[in-house]
Chains A and B, each alone.
Chain A
Amino acid sequence: MVEAFAVASGKGGVGKTTSTLALGMALSDRYDVTVVDADTGMANLLFHTGLDGVETTLHDVLGSDVPVSDAVYERFGMRVVPCGTSLSGFRRADPDRLRGVVATLARDTDVLLLDSAPALGAKSAVLPVVLADRVVVVVQPTIPSLSDALKVQEYATAYGTSIAGVLFNRVQPTDPIERISEAASRYFDGPIIGRIPERPSPQAARRAGKPVLAHAPESSVADAYRGAADRLEIRPGDETAIADRFQSAVIPEQP
């Protein structure tokens, strides 16, 4: 059984990678979780998981014949597939190969989280939303972030990918989050699964090369992420069918 989620925001800097790993760690208590850094242009996951020294990354898989298993690392109770940061690796990476990677990983996990690129101007940023079963939208309570989150939803809806939930992140104590949540819920098709407070712990966790649930498991941020993961109802599908769907998705090469 497997369900694939794209974790997307549209706007950068909202804490998408932090959220992806936090949800992944929280879900790993109950499920086999695999997290993939699908942001091939601005890879982040490796810094959050202490993997910045590894030799093989998703760039190598997308850019040559390296098997995906070589880029899978067991970390913090999850399987983590980081992306590299080199310009040459980015240039060699063929985003269309992502579907094959997802198909392979889907055969051997319960929950697949695709940490998507911010911005929606590139095919590589949109593909995770196209390929996933559902999307978790990470949003800050600001106008730019909400605007881009609504755009993410439009992309998802157009490709038949439903919204699993909306996660408010970096919520300031002064934000009237009740009013903002209520107003936002009129536009989003999925439930609001959490409100993560703005605290120093995620930044400290990143500096330590750990997900926040590993670095500060007792923190209010970690608690809020665990609550959000609990509200994310997993709907596992048949892994063979899902793998086949990804593999056979007709995405011809661009001319």
Chain B
Amino acid sequence: MWLPQGRLCRSTVVSTVSSVLALALDLSLTGYGVFSMPETPRAPRGLITFDGGVPGCCYHPQTSWDSTAALSRIASYRPCRVDLYQLSRPTVRSIHDRAPETVDPTLPASQLDGDSILLQRTKRRHSKRESNTAPTNTDTVVSFLEDSDRIRALQETTRQTVQLRARRWNLASLLENDH
């Protein structure tokens, strides 16, 4: 996947990925983390984007945007090297708008960490951010909807993701046009 180059703000090696979720909240990170195995530098790198410390998307080259599967891959990196990059909030939100899938903000904490404190922190931060989100420039909303090429691309990407996930989740037989 393509991401704009962010500004590196932290580079560390951790024993478990879940500690990075707490770090992202502490830093109120808006940007992304790149997760790799320090002992196997050629292994594929995973990625989690953050908006104010709250997870937005999870990606791994071997699982694409399937958040649960991507998180499982990333969690298997022990120890794990993580590089945290900052991006502007509009840039991150633009990434989330265009991504085929965003993650339930609490899923990484639920899946990777047994600590309900982290889960509650994530929920609180998410709720606060949602209620504080400034209204979007409404002319931009209309422009977005009038950009039929952009909408068609979003729909097409989503269709592909739906098919991929239907197979992964054993739901393919329930698809309308499954043959």
A residues with a Cβ closer than 8 A to B are 10-13, 41-42, 86-87, 90-91, 117-123, 125-126, 130, 141-144, 146-148, 150-151, 154-155, 157-160, 172, 174-176, 179-180, 183-184, 186-187, 249-254
Contacts and interface: CB of A to CB of B under 8 A. Distances in A.
A172 B175 CA distance: 37
Given A87-B116, A126-B165, A183-B142, A144 B135 contact: no
B141 A180 contact: yes
Q: Closest 3 A-B residue pairs measured CB to CB?
A: A13-B130, A121-B67, A183-B145
Given A12-B126, A123-B171, A154-B159, 5 more contacts: A13-B130, A119-B107, A121-B104, A147-B98, A150-B158
A184 B166 CA distance: 27
B104 A184 contact: no
Given A13-B130, A121-B107, A159 B174 contact: yes
Contacts of A130: 171, 174
Contact of A12 (B105, B163, B169, B177): B105
A153 to B, nearest CB: 8
B170 A121 contact: no
B93 interface: yes
A175 B138 contact: yes
Interface of B: 58, 65-68, 93, 96-98, 100-107, 110, 114, 116, 119, 123, 126-127, 130-131, 133, 135-136, 138-142, 144-146, 151, 154-155, 158-159, 162-163, 165-166, 169-171, 173-177
16 contacts: A11-B102, A42-B106, A87-B110, A123-B171, A130-B174, A141-B136, A142-B133, A142-B135, A143-B141, A146-B144, A151-B101, A154-B158, A154-B159, A180-B138, A249-B174, A251-B170
B162 A158 contact: yes
Given A143-B97, A160-B176, A250-B174, A86 B158 contact: no
Contacts of B176: 157-160
Nearest to B130: A13
A143 B158 contact: no
A121 B102 contact: yes
Contacts of B151: 150, 187
A121 B175 CA distance: 17
Nearest to A151: B158
Contacts of B102: 10-11, 119-121, 148
A106 to B, nearest CB: 17
B145 A187 contact: yes
A119 B169 contact: no
B140 A143 contact: yes
A157 B155 CA distance: 11
